[in-house]
């Protein structure tokens, strides 16, 4: 089986490189080979490689930066997924694409399920939603996996920022009124492998849109506290943490206050579930 992974330098793609070992011939392509800022240029490379499975782990994820460069965000997050879906359908290959909790406005009191109305608050969320819609419009076998609060020991993310700041400063203020599930990139990669194995063994569930996050929930403040606990357990310095509302930490892009996603459909349809966020964080920091 030939597997093509787009977004080689991203957190999820790097985790996939390890998770997919032994499944087949894995090709990880980055911007040099697949420049998703210019979607139509992707076709020639995709047709040359002719993969049996296509995984799109590439995205414009700079949420605040997207507000000032919407054309680039939509090119990468909306137009490129359309091209990938078209080429996957032409090849008869499934497409696995990662999306985000930012397609919702965060006003719901309960966790969001896949059928809830969307309502993104900014350019990033709108571009990711447009990518979902483009894939569905093309049709073909596809899995759109919405996740949230992704972190790892690579790249730029909340975990790495907190590890540094908690050791550098005596005191740190962190937003406490945004709720979600921190999700380790390795968790996403392991679940992706499980989905591929079920498809390959003719045990696939229904194709479509699913939620894939770690179990449980916390705030950014609670996430920071958990990181701090692990630092203290190692005898490392840790700043005093102070909870603040989102209003005290203004950003160019609005964030959803509720980023909780109900993942029961994925467990029911594909028999794939995820660990609790706190357990995964401990494993990651080890």
CATH of the domain at 97: 3.40.50.720
**Phi first, then psi: what are they for 150, rounded to 5°?**
-75, 135
**In the chain, how many domains are there?**
1
What is the pLDDT averaged over residues 180-201? Answer: 97
Q: Is residue 104 part of a domain?
A: yes
* pLDDT (tens digit per residue) in 140-180: 999 999 999 999 999 889 999 999 999 999 999 999 999 99
Does residue 30 fall inside a structural domain? Answer: yes
Q: Tell me how far CA of residue 72 lies from CA of 95, 107, 133, in angstroms.
A: 22, 28, 18
Answer whether residue 230 is part of any domain: no
Structural domain that includes position 105:
2-153+183-214+261-275
Mean pLDDT of 50-72: 95
Residues 6+ apart with CB under 8 A from 25: 1, 2, 3
Q: Measure the CA–CA gap between 257 and 255, rounded to whole angstroms.
A: 6
Q: Would 170 be classed as within a structural domain?
A: no
Mind listing the pLDDT tens digit for each residue in 14-47?
999 999 999 999 999 988 888 888 888 889 899 9
Dihedrals phi, psi of 76, to nearest 5 degrees: -80, -45
Does residue 164 sit within a domain?
Answer: no
Residue 285 lies in a domain: no
Mean pLDDT of the chain: 95
Helix, strand or coil for residue 67?
coil
- What residues are labeled active site? 124
Res. 127 pLDDT band, cuts 50 70 90: very high
- In this prediction, residues 237-254 reach a mean pLDDT of 95
- CA–CA distance, 36 with 70 (Å, rounded to integer): 14
Torsion angle of alpha carbons 75, 78, 81, 82, nearest 10°?
Answer: -100
User: What is the C-alpha to C-alpha distance for residues 260 and 179, in angstroms, rounded to an integer?
Assistant: 7
Classify residue 176: in a domain, yes or no. no
Residue 34 lies in a domain: yes
């Amino acid at each position: 089986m030939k597997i093509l992974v787009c977004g080689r330098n991203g957190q999820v793609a790097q985790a996939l490189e390890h998770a997919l070992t032994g499944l087949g011939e894995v090709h990880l392509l980055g911007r040099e080979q697949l420049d998703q800022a210019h979607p139509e240029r992707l076709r020639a490379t995709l047709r040359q490689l002719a993969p049996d499975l296509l995984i799109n782990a590439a995205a414009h994820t700079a949420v605040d930066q997207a507000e000032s460069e919407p054309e680039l965000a939509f090119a990468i997050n909306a137009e490129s997924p359309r091209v990938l879906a078209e080429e996957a359908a032409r090849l008869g290959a499934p497409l696995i694409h990662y999306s985000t909790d930012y397609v919702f406005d965060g006003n719901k009191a309960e966790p969001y399920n896949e059928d809830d109305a969307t309502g993104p608050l900014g350019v990033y969320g709108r571009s990711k939603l447009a990518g979902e819609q483009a894939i569905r419009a093309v049709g073909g076998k596809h899995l759109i996996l919405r996740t949230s609060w992704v972190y790892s020991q690579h790249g730029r993310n909340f975990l790495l920022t907190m590890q540094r700041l908690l050791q550098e400063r005596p005191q740190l203020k962190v937003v406490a009124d945004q709720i979600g599930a921190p999700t380790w990139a390795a968790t996403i990669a392991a679940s992706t492998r499980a989905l591929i194995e079920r498809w390959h063994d003719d045990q696939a569930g229904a194709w479509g849109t699913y939620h894939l996050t770690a179990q449980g929930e916390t705030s950014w403040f609670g996430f920071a506290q958990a990181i701090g606990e692990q630092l203290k357990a190692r005898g490392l310095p840790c700043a005093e943490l102070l909870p603040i509302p989102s209003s005290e930490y203004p950003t160019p892009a609005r964030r959803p206050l509720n980023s909780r996603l109900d993942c029961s459909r994925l467990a029911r349809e594909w028999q794939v579930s995820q660990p609790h966020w706190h357990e995964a964080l401990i494993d990651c920091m080890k």
